[in-house]
Amino acid sequence: MSLADLLGTRARPPRNAIDVSEEAGVRYLHFGSEWIQGAMRIARPYALELEYTREMMLPLLFAPDEQWPARVLVIGLGAASVTKFLHRYCPQSSLTVVEIDPRMPAVAAMHFRLPAQDGRLNIVIDDGVKFVAQSDAQWDLILVDGYDHRARAKALDSEAFHRDCLARLAPGGRVCLNLFGRTRGFRKSARRIFDAYAGRALVLPSLDEGNAICVAVGEQGVDTTLDEVRNQARLLRSHSGLNLAPALSRMEQAGLCPGGRLVI
């Protein structure tokens, strides 16, 4: 039976090469180019090495309750950075990871310490756009980081996809997306998210690598004090080692927390 038969019409597997390199104690994932698609510090395999992956954990700082998120959907496995972090440090969470490339789970397991699938981790080979559109599940947190070897998000950058994600959010749900802040179409990409979520979104300033993290929320929104968010950041750091204080400082400097409040 061919790979196409196994996959059916769910996804067309990419044809780009998958390469792994190492330098100064860090292992990198590439999709047939020098561009970095993921990274892991070998001595700290569960830490988030790339700054944008750290900022994708910002929704944990304004969680509705201590048991949040119970159900997480991750679009794009890559080097499994956010998947490993959540699996290790959020034991209350069950994770579904949708990856379009059937080669990636084996690569992530062999080179990037992807945990074995268990009662909390399920990996699905499918197109993320189709999966969300056809799903009837509800998710507390949806993380979107799906780019091809040419750094194109394709249909993951459509308002229809964003509206489908909104429809799949549980009460109090959040979505976090990795955007490229230096591309020509960045403003249009951000506008599609704002339109889909009726303005309930914020975009952090672009990082040095060009990534810009966007957080969008459901109808319940977010309204909390910056002091409370900082307190949650301290608790998260003591628990996991993840330091989100620099991200909060950047948000404040960018005027995203007027009057000491975070409102989305």
In this predicted model, what pLDDT tens digit does every residue of 41-57 receive, in sequence order? 999 999 999 999 999 99
151 contacts 180 by C-beta, under 8 angstroms: yes
CA distances from 25 to 40, 114, 143, 163 (A): 9, 18, 27, 41
What CATH number did the domain enclosing 26 receive? 3.40.50.150
Q: Given pLDDT bands bounded at 50, 70 and 90, which one contains residue 8?
A: very low
Structure tokens at 264: 């989305």
Pairing verdict, β 169-180 and 201-203: unpaired
- Provide the sign of the torsion angle of the four alpha carbons 79, 80, 82, 84, taken in this order: negative
**Residue range 175-180: average pLDDT?**
92
- 206-234 pLDDT, tens digit per residue, is 998 889 999 999 999 999 999 999 999 99
Higher pLDDT, 213 or 1: 213
The DSSP line for 143-208 is EE----TTS--GGGGSHHHHHHHHHTEEEEEEEEEEEETTSTTHHHHHHHHHHHTTT-EEEPPPPT
Angstrom distance (rounded) from CA 250 to CA 175: 20
The DSSP line for 200-243 is -EEEPPPPTTSEEEEEEE-TT--EEEHHHHHHHHHHHHHHH---
Q: Given pLDDT bands bounded at 50, 70 and 90, which one contains residue 183?
A: low
Higher pLDDT, 8 or 53: 53
What range does the domain containing 45 cover? 3-263
Count of domains in the chain?
1
178 contacts 211 by C-beta, under 8 angstroms: yes
215 contacts 248 by C-beta, under 8 angstroms: no
Of 113, 65, 117, residue with least CA distance to 85: 113
Q: Which of 1-5, 10-14, 65-69, 200-204 has the lowest mean pLDDT?
A: 1-5
Say what the pTM is: 0.92
Angstrom distance (rounded) from CA 121 to CA 117: 5
b/e map 127-154, b = 16+ CB within 10 Å:
bbbbbbbebeeebbbbbbbbbebeeebe
> Residues 68, 74, 80, 82: what is their CA dihedral angle, to the nearest 10 degrees?
-40
140 contacts 146 by C-beta, under 8 angstroms: no
Q: What pLDDT, on a 0 to 100 scale, did the predictor assign at position 181? A: 64
At residue 76, φ and ψ (nearest 5 deg) are 105, 110
What is the number of other CB atoms lying within 10 angstroms of the CB of residue 93? 18
- Cis amide bond preceding 69, omega within 30: yes
145 contacts 157 by C-beta, under 8 angstroms: no
Over the chain, what is the mean pLDDT?
91
